[in-house]
Amino acid sequence: MTAGRFISLEGGEGAGKSTQARALAAALEARGIPIVVTREPGGSDGAESIRALLLTGETNRWSPHSEALLFAAARADHVERTIGPALSAGSWVICDRFLDSTRAYQGAAEGIDDAAVLALHAFGSKGLLPDRTFVLDMGPEEGARRAARRDGGATDRFAQRDSAFHQAVADAFRRIAAHEPDRVRMVDATRPVEAVTAALLDGLADLL
């Protein structure tokens, strides 16, 4: 059995990652490709337990260093128990957030050195990188509006951060895409759902 492909969707709050994970999965399944859709933080029993620690409670519940370690631990379990086995079985994996979220949130926005984030990833997850990463790009304000409409105003620890934090996250995703153009593609996420899905499929043409 041939190994599958690993795709991650990144971007700020409310950019449409979960919507596109489902839509892209449906489009690829229609082509006969076996798909596993998963998410971070979470995606395995252990990582889902860590997710609850990370997303609930006071905004400053964890220090940036503790938070980076918790995300790396959750990711290690997720890679070991869910992503790795699915890829080995020949499935394509679509992951709603992955390593680049830690680089953007804990790294750029919270001040953890990128080299330290990558070192944790090398130790915890053997440095696994997606074959393709899409950054769903839109202004943080529009993303926040979409998420607020969806959630009726309820927010998690990260959504409660100020606009400078979310702008730093958005800028970090753009920088990562500029430095790693073979792996990471920017996609304009302000368009209708179907247009964004079509752009993702275009961006996978060389892998199909």
Q: What are phi and psi of 138, to 5 degrees?
A: -160, 160
Q: Please report how close the Cβ of residue 71 comes to ligand T5A at its closest, in angstroms.
A: 4
Interaction between residue 150 and ligand T5A (CB under 6 A): yes
Q: What's the token pair of residue 143?
A: 């993303």
Q: How far apart are CA 106 and CA 159, in angstroms?
A: 14
Interaction between residue 87 and ligand T5A (CB under 6 A): no
The residue count for the chain: 208
State which of positions 116-145 bind ligand T5A (CB under 6 A): none
Q: What's the token pair of residue 77?
A: 């379990």
Part of the chain binding ligand T5A (CB under 6 A), chosen from 27-35, 58-66, 151-159, 179-187 = 151-159
The label of the residue with tokens 């995703």 reads 173
Which run of H or of E encompasses 29?
helix 17-29
Q: Please report how close the Cβ of residue 200 comes to ligand T5A at its closest, in angstroms.
A: 12
State which residue, 76 or 196, has the beta carbon closest to ligand T5A: 196
Q: Please report how close the Cβ of residue 66 comes to ligand T5A at its closest, in angstroms.
A: 12
Contact between 78 and 45 under an 8 Å Cβ cutoff? The reply is: no
Q: How far apart are CA 92 and CA 65, in angstroms?
A: 32
Q: Please report how close the Cβ of residue 90 comes to ligand T5A at its closest, in angstroms.
A: 25
- Name the residues that contact ligand T5A, by CB under 6 A: 13-19, 40-41, 71, 97, 101-102, 105-106, 146-147, 150, 156, 158-159, 192-193, 196
